[in-house]
Structure 1
Amino acid sequence: MRRGWAFVLFVLGAVVASRADEPEMRTWKDASGRFKIQAKYAGMNGANVMLKKADGSQMQVDLEKLCSADRQYVEAQQKKLAEEDPFKPVPAEPAKKAATPAPRPSAMARPGARSTPFGRPAAPSPFDGTPPPDDGTPEVQPDWSAAALPEMPPDGPWKLAIGPAPAAPEGSRPRAVPIPPRADFFEKREGFLVNAPGTHALAGFAMDNPKPGTSRVVLCDLRSGKLLGQGRSEGVMVPLDLSDSGDRLLVRNEEFGFGNSGRLELWNLTAEALEKAWRFEPYGDLDKNDRNIQWAKFLGTGRFATIGGKGKLVVWDLDPVQPRTTITVDDGCIPGISPDGKFLAFVEKGKLGVLEVDAGRVAALQPMPVTHSAWPALGFSPSGKRLACVSAGKLYAWNTEDGSLHRDILLAPVAVQAGSPPIWTDDDHVLVGDRFIIDVDSQVKLWQYDGGETVVGDRTGLCWFLLHAPHNQPSAVVPARIPQPAAVHALKQALADPDYFVLRPGAAVTIDVNGIPDASQRPKVVESLTARLAQVQAKVAAGSPLVLSAAMAQGKEEDVSYRTMGAGFRTDNFKVRPHISSVKLTYQGQVAWESAASTLPFVDFAHLGPNESLADHVKKFEKPNYDFFAHVEVPRLVARPKPGANTFTLGTSQISATGVR
């Protein structure tokens, strides 16, 4: 029999909606086509789509991560909602405004820069113009002959002196700034940036149609609390980073197809015009998708860095543009830049490294706590004393002076999108997932912050939230110093309670395996969970109010489609009922923590053996997976569940235009 292989596409079964006017249960796909889920559309949360699964639980996903058909579906739902909304705003009569003294120019404002009142467009200016398609932007031709490839030092402890962020100017006070609404229903946000000193912010917007599309950027002065202007350019462009001075912008093109997002441009944002200083393709010599620019950042005033396909990181001189240093990092790695701008942290092949930018050498290298780190995203604390990495549901924190691992924290149930870096607000607290702040020392999921579409931290630890807003309403950029005193006080009270953590080193736990239908497998599951509890220094004891329950259940029937390649082209469809393995930690009957996995993988390449058919291969997914219990990671610390609480944090605050509430 011929050997072959097939690529699996999962199509989840449809469920009839309970009401005719409710969004239907449908299959949602990500942009790559690899991941799918069955859920109902439940609305928008800023740039995230809210989805409601059949079991009633909700999840959210970045709109830009969805496939084109799903994005169109969301746009249609939003447009339908806007048309059906009976509460249409009535334009207010223009109010007479009392004369006020003209404001003094901000120290950060450029001469001639104009501010834009909240919700009102600026008068036309050259800065608001659209450059012609053939604008004569200079093309950079980099000379790679002088680019250095530094050697990797031996693994082991290190000794680094990383400085803090420069002090803010005397008397400077960050201010909230209004952001104009989207110019069109189909205009989407393409990036929100705050420069490292926290003096300027920029919001990017783009429309795909009519082709080749149009991009718009809105520049704000965060010290004066005013808009400086708007600029437009032909094509869909994604802002990547804003310079320390707030007047230079790195952008890349965003076009459909493999390798069509590899052009980098530098824009000068002056009071008179949006000027394109140069453009080039840093990875134009690579193949197909590897040409795409994945990340770019300014490194002080004279350098910038980029990452392309296959993890090729290049440090460039800015004037003139020439490659200076090149290293390889993990594909999907988001490096961390030290607050003094002198060091760049990265992950490569299971190693954590620190590049000294000026010297062009890798100053430190040591193994990561795990061999494989998926989409590692790194960040330094404002003092430079701590470094964090978020990867695969874990938060790692190191002391930068000697490289010692300070904390290894399981983030569940906090979900963090791939490529979302940790934001240190001080040496003890990290914001993850745009909403949740972690107290690193105690490992407590301290506080939840709602109301922000996204958030960026500057190098001083100040968080800048871009507020949620309907498509036709203005938004705002709001500064917040978190955690606020009320959150810190709540943490002190919680830690003073000796029973705050129900699972902790030395805790007694009862294991319940009655949810395992096959009685012959129960001793093996007990053995596996006993070993997992021992990893966190907990002990097994009958009769404890803290119970770790194991269950194995067969899920709903699902459709699986395989597309055969290499030996003809065809599609084979199968129906599968996977098994769901799960564990749940309860305290006095209330759920404190849980984890589950299905035997049906997100993606499967079926390498068929001799005399094996696709039907035989698919049948494997219907077998229970008892290895799950031997590998599930139990958190070291779990807080006592709060009766009636709908959050796992100590409290929740709302971010609004007036600050933290």
Structure 2
Amino acid sequence: MRHILRLPPFRYAAAMCCVMVLLLVGPRATGGEMRTWTDKTGKFKIEAEFLEVLDGNVQLKRADGQTISVPLTKLSKADQTHLRELARKNREQDADPNNPFGLGAGGPAPRGPQAPRQPLGMAGAGAAGLSADDFGMPGGGSEFQVGDEVEVKDGLDYVPGKVVGIGSGGTQVFVTIDGTGETESVFAREPWLRRPGGEQPGGGKSTPTGSVGGYELTAADLSGIRRVVPLGGGGGEFTPDPGADKLIAAKPVGLSPRRGFFEDIEAVNFTGAERAVVACQGGEDMHEKSSTVEICNLATGRSEGYLAGPPKLKMAAVTASGKRVVTVSEIETFKYGPLQVWDVTGEGLQHVASWQGSTDKNRGQFEWIGWLDEDRVLTVDDNNAIAWAIDGEKIRGDYQIPVRNGARPAFSPGGGQFALPANGSVDIHSVATGERLARVPVEGASSGSQVAFSPNGELIAVSTGPFVKVVAIAGGEQLCDAFAPVRGDNVGLAWAGDQYVLAGGRDLIHVGTQTVAWTYEHSAQFVRGAGGKCWYFLDDRHSNQRALLPFSLPQPGVTPVPEDQLALAPGAQVALDLQLAVSYNSDGDFRGDVEKKLTSDLERAGFVLTDGANATLVARLTPGETETVEYRTWGISRETQSVSVTKQVYELELLVDGQSVWTRKSTQDSPHHLQLQENESINDAINRVMKPTTGYFGAGVPARVVKQDEAERRKSEISLHGLQ
């Protein structure tokens, strides 16, 4: 299967990065010389240029320009020896620090502010749940230590040796080969390096040690970690945790201006109602790796510290006291480094400890990090939510909760409970012990749902596709089901008082009437609820001003929408009108599929499908703009091909007496990436990917639609100038 990447001008650099990544899968050509290649029987020969070894196949380019793939095992012994020597030469070149194109180039490993150079560690023993096997080293750290017996890949075979040194950043190790006495620099990962006999390191009672990004990893103790099993919390027995998180004298926090055009806001993370941290990375240069951490006091409206952070910062969280910060950085492209804890001092961030905390063994990615209290960090990855206890330089696993696909937690107002969404339910856990206190059935919920506790801790709001539901934790009664799409994790759900839920920072839902009572237009990158306020992170590039602004919502004058101001409500009769440019696709009766889907959506909303009704749902599919798109193949050849792609425009519109009361439009654009199937051209792949699909008509329609004039009256704008 070939991979093709779309190349608009602004994606050219990224595409080249993808090409370079794929070049590293095996031996690489050092020249462009032709060679006579022979199969192992000696009967067949060919003149060709070597390109690469990929998935056990040798890629060769013939004199006529055609590329062929030959299984490595079918080549002659002489050709296999040639490839073995070529692999050895490539490793030596990559390890040469004077080679600007080598894999070991790039200068010294990044060091965070106030970084100590001494190892930080402690011995660990025995864990019933997690072990070292669960923690990979995708962030560039080495799981090997000086003195380890290893095997080095030597062409097609492995030869035994011993680790005699660890390279900068831990991505390479130095191995003395048994018998020859030669010392080689080797990548510290499969397939270049492995344990004897292919044995994987594991069974350990602590997280892996080594070095990542210039920091020695602490061996976090897993011996006493408790695995929380999905039991308990039944019978409706639940004690809410309202706490004191009602109202605070919140003030706007003016933030430091951008350091340059290429600075990105990586995270805005709140800890209770006390503090927030803003993490940024980049600057004037598009390759800038430096970062900043800004700590905000929400009660005083002051920025308490604008500090240099570790390079390539991706995530950060601050304790409620503002005395400690935990961070995660990108160590390699698309791969994340360890957790790092820092003390906040007058001189900046002082490094305390680093440890490998992600059980995502592929990329080391975390979905969420935050503080449970002053001494414990909660991390969530694709597999587990783990609470880590921090005692000076010592790290200990406290409890582990299996999760799926990186569910993001939401905390109760009192801070003693947190909710984790799952498929069809939301689990409520104790912050202190991890114990599951309740399981709340929520139809349509998934691990990607957003969740928010009500101020009294008795209810949760949950996003389920384009709908927001409000459910009682004790008993599971559903109190609200409103149409209010939440787009993105950073602008999720927040309660605005006891009767309203803010969805996406935009739609203010009145729980009792299940209707959007007010709409706030905004351009905030992050919206959060804390301390009884709705906080908007606003960034104006033109004036280079940015701030965290708290709003007390709903503002005076907001009231629920009365029934007589609804254009449509459950029970109304609605007709269906399909205006589709395409009736059939490669899957069959497209028109029939659309009719079936939209009929189901109307019935879910409580409407009665009736021909000739004065209300009509119109579905349109029309051809959009035709554009010429360039695609480049991944790998050595990097061929470019231009194709014409016609966009598809999907539109839904609700009409009442011929007047539009609600619309939604989406466009099927040309794909950024294609996977060509066997014997498939790019044009064939475009036609396959761009075939009409019902998914672009969305996941539902609103059950309660406010009249247009009334809806326009119920709108405001939120910006750096305030609420208008």
Taking structure 1 as the reference length, the TM-score comes to 0.68
One of 344, 363, 374 as aligned partner of 1:301: 374
For residue 226 of structure 2, what is the amino acid of its counterpart? A
Correspondence for 2:349: 274
Matched, 1:362 2:473: no
Residues 220-278 of structure 1: per-residue CA shift (max 9 Å, x gap):
4333343434322452334522212222222222344132x222222222456533222
Question: How many Å separate the matches in 2 of 1:183 and 1:403?
Answer: 48
Correspondence for 1:94: none
- Tell me how far 1:142 sits from its aligned partner: 0.7
Which range moved further: 184-193 or 331-340?
Answer: 184-193
One of 282, 293, 315 as aligned partner of 1:217: 293
Correspondence for 1:660: 723
- Tell me how far 1:297 sits from its aligned partner: 1.2
Question: How many Å separate the matches in 2 of 1:601 and 1:156?
Answer: 47
- Tell me how far 1:622 sits from its aligned partner: 6.3
Listed as ranges, the matches of 1:81-480 within 5 Å are: 131-132=113-114, 134=116, 138=120, 139-153=217-231, 158-166=236-244, 173-198=249-274, 200-207=275-282, 213-259=289-335, 261-271=336-346, 273-283=348-358, 287-289=361-363, 291-308=364-381, 310-319=382-391, 320-365=394-439, 368-370=442-444, 373=446, 375-412=448-485, 416-418=487-489, 420-450=491-521, 453-470=524-541, 473-480=544-551
In structure 2, the CA distance between the partners of 1:341 and 1:473, relative to structure 1 (3 Å rule), is same
Residues 279-319 of structure 1: per-residue CA shift (max 9 Å, x gap):
22212x75331x123311111334220023x3321112233
- Tell me how far 1:322 sits from its aligned partner: 0.9
Correspondence for 1:642: 709
For residue 594 of structure 1, what is the amino acid of its counterpart? R
SS in 1 for 2:516: strand
Q: What is the alpha-carbon root mean square deviation over aligned residues?
A: 4.1
SS in 2 for 1:262: strand
Question: How many Å separate the matches in 1 of 2:651 and 2:622?
Answer: 9
In structure 2, the CA distance between the partners of 1:249 and 1:524, relative to structure 1 (3 Å rule), is closer
Bigger RCO of structures 1 and 2 (CA < 8 A, at least 6 apart): 1
SS in 2 for 1:468: strand
Structure 1 residue runs without a partner (length 5+)? 13-25, 34-129
Which range moved further: 218-227 or 393-402?
Answer: 218-227
Correspondence for 2:576: 511
SS in 2 for 1:359: coil
Question: How many Å separate the matches in 2 of 1:575 and 1:525?
Answer: 27
Question: How many Å separate the matches in 1 of 2:688 and 2:292?
Answer: 51
In structure 2, the CA distance between the partners of 1:589 and 1:168, relative to structure 1 (3 Å rule), is closer
Correspondence for 2:615: 546
Residues 412-463 of structure 1: per-residue CA shift (max 9 Å, x gap):
4xx5114543122233222232344332333333334456634454543212
For residue 223 of structure 1, what is the amino acid of its counterpart? A
Question: How many Å separate the matches in 1 of 2:632 and 2:234?
Answer: 47
Question: How many Å separate the matches in 2 of 1:297 and 1:604?
Answer: 37
- Tell me how far 1:341 sits from its aligned partner: 2.2
SS in 2 for 1:485: coil
Question: How many Å separate the matches in 2 of 1:446 and 1:217?
Answer: 37
- Tell me how far 1:196 sits from its aligned partner: 0.6
In structure 2, the CA distance between the partners of 1:502 and 1:149, relative to structure 1 (3 Å rule), is same
Matched, 1:651 2:715: yes
Question: How many Å separate the matches in 1 of 2:431 and 2:13?
Answer: 36
- Tell me how far 1:164 sits from its aligned partner: 0.6
In structure 2, the CA distance between the partners of 1:329 and 1:218, relative to structure 1 (3 Å rule), is same
In structure 2, the CA distance between the partners of 1:427 and 1:255, relative to structure 1 (3 Å rule), is farther
SS in 1 for 2:602: helix
For residue 438 of structure 1, what is the amino acid of its counterpart? I
- Tell me how far 1:323 sits from its aligned partner: 0.9
Contact 1:193-1:201 within 8 A present in 2 as well: yes
Percent identity for Structure 1 against Structure 2: 23
Question: How many Å separate the matches in 1 of 2:266 and 2:367?
Answer: 14
- Tell me how far 1:177 sits from its aligned partner: 3.2
SS in 2 for 1:235: coil
For residue 453 of structure 1, what is the amino acid of its counterpart? A
For residue 207 of structure 1, what is the amino acid of its counterpart? G
- Tell me how far 1:624 sits from its aligned partner: 4.9
Contact 2:7-2:631 within 8 A present in 1 as well: no
Question: How many Å separate the matches in 2 of 1:385 and 1:391?
Answer: 19
- Tell me how far 1:565 sits from its aligned partner: 8.7
- Tell me how far 1:576 sits from its aligned partner: 4.8
SS in 1 for 2:708: coil
In structure 2, the CA distance between the partners of 1:208 and 1:651, relative to structure 1 (3 Å rule), is closer
Question: How many Å separate the matches in 2 of 1:370 and 1:510?
Answer: 26
Question: How many Å separate the matches in 2 of 1:344 and 1:573?
Answer: 51
Correspondence for 1:536: 605
Question: How many Å separate the matches in 2 of 1:419 and 1:183?
Answer: 22
In structure 2, the CA distance between the partners of 1:155 and 1:600, relative to structure 1 (3 Å rule), is farther
Taking structure 2 as the reference length, the TM-score comes to 0.62
Residues 581-624 of structure 1: per-residue CA shift (max 9 Å, x gap):
5432123322413355649777665555xx87776565445655
Correspondence for 1:78: none
Contact 1:187-1:207 within 8 A present in 2 as well: yes
In structure 2, the CA distance between the partners of 1:9 and 1:442, relative to structure 1 (3 Å rule), is farther
For residue 634 of structure 1, what is the amino acid of its counterpart? V
Question: How many Å separate the matches in 1 of 2:453 and 2:13?
Answer: 31
Contact 2:6-2:671 within 8 A present in 1 as well: no
Residues 183-239 of structure 1: per-residue CA shift (max 9 Å, x gap):
4444443433443123x3433333368887333333343333434343224523345
Residues 37-82 of structure 1: per-residue CA shift (max 9 Å, x gap):
xxxxxxxxxxxxxxxxxxxxxxxxxxxxxxxxxxxxxxxxxxxxxx
In structure 2, the CA distance between the partners of 1:460 and 1:382, relative to structure 1 (3 Å rule), is farther
SS in 1 for 2:474: coil
Question: How many Å separate the matches in 1 of 2:365 and 2:593?
Answer: 48
SS in 2 for 1:304: strand
Question: How many Å separate the matches in 2 of 1:565 and 1:220?
Answer: 44
SS in 2 for 1:434: coil
In structure 2, the CA distance between the partners of 1:572 and 1:602, relative to structure 1 (3 Å rule), is closer
- Tell me how far 1:633 sits from its aligned partner: 2.0
Correspondence for 2:194: none
- Tell me how far 1:522 sits from its aligned partner: 7.0
Structure 2 residue runs without a partner (length 5+)? 17-111, 121-216
Question: How many Å separate the matches in 1 of 2:535 and 2:690?
Answer: 48
- Tell me how far 1:325 sits from its aligned partner: 1.4
Q: Which has the larger radius of gyration?
A: 2
Question: How many Å separate the matches in 2 of 1:182 and 1:193?
Answer: 18
Contact 2:451-2:463 within 8 A present in 1 as well: yes
